[in-house]
């Protein structure tokens, strides 16, 4: 997770040069994100985890308000703060109750934490406090708004790093989750929304909103795997978060470049990229296969683990999984065919500026660096 954070921050920092020349403000923002995320991944205290988990919201809110390109960016930042605060404040009261019961809030005392009397109430508090940042469908409304209003490098940080903090928090606090009482209800609830969110992706006309909703569909797998609690599920959680943290920024980079070329994100207007820039088209095809978790890309491995773990829960859960896979293929093929293989709309872009930007050095470097990293991890 620390390596993924460093890589995503590095790529987003390079890509941010297109948006702003305020290097001091960008440097301080990126430093703050790195420190907050590393402390979430490495701290031994639940209180420090909570504080850093909440503090990680501040830089993305600042990025949206400072460098957002739409007038509604203040509303999206407010929605982000409200959603995360409402569901995370009960976690602070839970920490006070935990300290009152056992006198400590450290992860290293696993034997002490295992004696803490978990209940359905405490399980729901922890589940929704961290799930709102993954996020769970139904409390996800802040995510598409934040992605649409944020600049490209802000969307890269939000999808590549900050969405993973909820999964890491759930993994580190899973000792408090009372699995037997809520397993059947929560898994059925999550599998239902797994199908619903992929169906929502099929009706999206905005490419950036489609990528945002596809992140929601991938992250729904994490609480399902936490409820399974097997060796396969734990491996799958880490692999899903890691590879999604690399592929999702690549998709948002692609959306940012397409927006600069066509001045729109509507799939009906994004056409003929294969004729305009074959190199960008190659990156789009590779991002398509990696997002689809097709072999031989390494993202195929956690998907297999996810299928096996779901089968261990109940064989009846395979039906919604097959629907999920089919709908994922459907909406991914939709945007790829629309962007690459449809006829060129000559009035949709400015030919004087499209090609120089698409062949810029920083754009080539960021995409190549991300793709090379994905290929290297396929061998590991």
Residues 101 and 197 in one domain: no
Length of the chain, please? 380
Q: Which helix (H) or strand (E) holds 333?
A: helix 318-340
User: What are the pLDDT tens digits along the chain (380 aa)?
Assistant: 888 888 888 888 877 776 555 577 788 888 888 888 888 888 888 888 888 888 888 888 888 888 877 777 777 778 888 888 888 888 888 888 777 777 777 765 444 455 555 567 777 788 788 888 877 777 777 888 888 888 888 888 888 888 888 888 888 877 666 555 566 666 777 777 888 888 888 888 888 889 888 888 888 888 888 877 777 788 888 888 888 888 888 888 888 888 877 788 888 888 778 877 787 788 888 888 888 888 777 788 888 888 888 777 777 778 888 888 888 888 988 888 888 876 655 554 444 444 444 445 666 666 677 667 666 665 65
Characterise 60 by phi-psi region: left (phi > 0), alpha (psi -120 to 50), beta (else).
alpha
Residues 259 and 218 in one domain: yes
Please give the tally of structural domains in the chain: 2
Q: In terms of DSSP H, where are the helices of 203-294?
A: 207-219, 221-228, 231-262, 273-276, 278-291
Residues 219 and 163 in one domain: no
The pLDDT score that the predictor gives to residue 22 is 58
Residues 157 and 219 in one domain: no
Residue 182 resides in a domain? no
Residue 368 resides in a domain? yes
Residues 196 and 167 in one domain: no
The pLDDT score that the predictor gives to residue 285 is 87
The pLDDT score that the predictor gives to residue 342 is 67
Structure-derived torsion over alpha carbons of residues 304, 306, 310, 312, reported in degrees to the nearest 10: 70
Residues 31 and 150 in one domain: yes
Residues 238 and 290 in one domain: yes
Residues 277 and 128 in one domain: no
Residues 236 and 121 in one domain: no
Give me 128's structure tokens. 């929704």
* Residue 93 near residue 199, CB atoms below 8 Å: no
pTM of the predicted model over 0.95: no
Residue 168 resides in a domain? yes
Residues 101 and 172 in one domain: yes
Last-in-domain residue among 177, 201, 221: 177
The pLDDT score that the predictor gives to residue 351 is 46
Residues 207 and 310 in one domain: yes
Residues 103 and 201 in one domain: no
Last-in-domain residue among 124, 154, 177: 177
Domain range for 157 is 1-177
Last-in-domain residue among 144, 177, 210: 177
């Amino acid at each position: 997770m620390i390596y993924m954070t460093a890589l995503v921050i590095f790529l987003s920092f390079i890509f941010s040069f297109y948006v702003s020349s305020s290097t001091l403000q960008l440097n301080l923002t990126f430093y703050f994100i790195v420190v907050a995320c590393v402390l979430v991944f490495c701290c031994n205290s639940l209180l420090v985890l909570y504080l850093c988990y909440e503090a990680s919201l501040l830089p993305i809110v600042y990025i949206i308000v400072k460098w957002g390109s739409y007038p509604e960016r203040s509303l999206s930042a407010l929605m982000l703060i409200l959603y995360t605060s409402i569901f995370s404040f009960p976690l602070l009261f839970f920490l006070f109750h935990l300290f009152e019961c056992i006198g400590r809030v450290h992860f290293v005392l696993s034997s002490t934490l295992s004696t803490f009397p978990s209940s359905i109430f405490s399980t729901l508090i922890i589940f929704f406090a961290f799930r709102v940042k993954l996020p769970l469908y139904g409390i996800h409304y802040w995510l598409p708004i934040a992605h649409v209003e944020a600049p490209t490098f802000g969307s890269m940080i939000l999808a590549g790093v900050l969405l993973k903090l909820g999964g890491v928090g759930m993994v580190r606090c899973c000792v408090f989750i009372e699995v037997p009482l809520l397993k059947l209800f929560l898994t059925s609830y999550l599998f239902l929304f797994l199908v619903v969110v992929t169906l929502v992706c099929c009706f999206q006309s905005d490419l950036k909103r489609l990528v945002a909703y596809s992140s929601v569909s991938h992250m729904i797998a994490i609480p399902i795997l936490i409820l399974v609690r097997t060796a396969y599920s734990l491996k799958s959680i880490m692999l899903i978060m890691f590879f999604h943290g690399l592929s999702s920024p690549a998709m948002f980079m692609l959306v940012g470049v397409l927006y600069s070329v066509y001045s729109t994100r509507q799939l009906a207007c994004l056409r003929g990229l294969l004729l305009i820039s074959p190199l960008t088209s190659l990156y789009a095809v590779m991002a398509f296969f990696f997002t689809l978790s097709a072999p031989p890309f390494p993202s195929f491995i956690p998907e297999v683990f996810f299928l096996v773990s779901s089968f261990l829960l109940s064989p009846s859960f395979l039906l919604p999984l097959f629907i999920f896979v089919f709908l994922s293929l459907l909406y991914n093929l939709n945007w790829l065919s629309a962007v690459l293989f449809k006829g060129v709309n000559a009035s949709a872009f400015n030919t004087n500026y499209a090609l120089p930007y698409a062949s810029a050095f920083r754009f080539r470097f960021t995409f190549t660096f991300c793709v090379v990293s994905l290929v290297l991890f396929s061998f590991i």
